[in-house]
Amino acid sequence: MNLKEMVGYKAAEFVKNGMTVGLGTGSTAYYMVEALGKRVKEEGLNIVGVTTSYETADHARDLDIPLKDIDEVEKIDLTIDGADEISSQYNGIKGGGAAHLFEKIVANLSDRNIWIVDETKLVEKLGAFPLPVEVIQFGSGQLFNLFKEKGYKPTWRNNKEGERLVTDAGNLIIDLNLGVIENPHELAKWLDSLTGVVEHGLFLDCVNTVIVGTSEGPIVEEVNRDN
C-alpha cells in the first residue's frame, strides 16, 4: 500500500453512519473515496457525499456513494481532502488539482476538516509549491501583469494540451512562484481584495486533523483550534 492509499483508507475510518461528508479532489483524496465506496458496499455505510469537483463526483457515482449538491445541505459534518503543502502552523496551500475554489466552499461549510498527505508535503513555511490564484477570464492579463510587477513570478496554468486550463467554474488559474510566504495571512487578505480574483489556494486556520503517511504507518495529528 502506497502512502497516499494508506492515509486515504485511514481517513475513511473517521466517517460514521448518517454523516454528510465533503469529498476532496486529487490523487490522495481518490483513495479516500475508494475506501468510502468500499465501506458503502461492504458495510452498508449510510452517508451523503458533497463533492469538490466534477471529477470526484464521477468517481463517487461509479462507487454508488449517494451525493447531494452543496446547496441541498445545511452543513457538512466532515470534509476529507488532500493538500499540496502544510506548514508547521498547520496552514496549507491547495489547488494543485485546480479545485481549490470548490474545496474552500465545502471546507468553510464543514464542522471538521481532515487533510491527508504524505510526509513530503510537510514544510516549515509555505511557498515552495506554487500558489494557485483563480481569476475570471475578463481582465486576467491585467492581474497577471500586477503579479509580475510584484515579483511573484506568475505563470498561467495550462492543461495537458498546452492550452490555458479552465476550472470547473469556468475560470483561469495563475500560479504564483513565491519560494517562501513569510506572512500568509497578509498575502491572503491582499489577494482577497483584488477585483477579478475569485479565490486563492491559501487555506488558513481551517484544518482540524492532519493524517500523514510515513514509512512507519499513518500519523494522526490533531490541531488545536480553540484559540
Indicate the annotated binding residues for substrate: 25-28, 81-84, 94-97, 121
From 59, 64, 71, 70, select the one nearest 46 (Cα to Cα). 64
Q: Which of 103, 119, 149, 199 is catalytic?
A: 103
Residue 221 CB-half CA count within 13 A? 19
The C-alpha atoms of residue 144 and residue 142 are separated, in whole angstroms, by: 5
DSSP assignments along 66-97, one per residue: -B--GGG-S-BSEEEE--SEE-TTS-EE--TT
Enumerate the known binding-site residues. 25-28, 81-84, 94-97, 121
Determine how many CB atoms are found less than 10 A away from the CB of residue 55.
Answer: 17
The C-alpha atoms of residue 161 and residue 6 are separated, in whole angstroms, by: 32
Query: Is 103 a known active-site residue?
Result: yes
From 79, 74, 91, select the one nearest 181 (Cα to Cα). 91
Query: Residue type at 72?
Result: E
Strand order in the sheet with 217-222: 48-51, 20-23, 78-81, 113-118, 209-214, 217-222
Catalytic residue ranges: 103
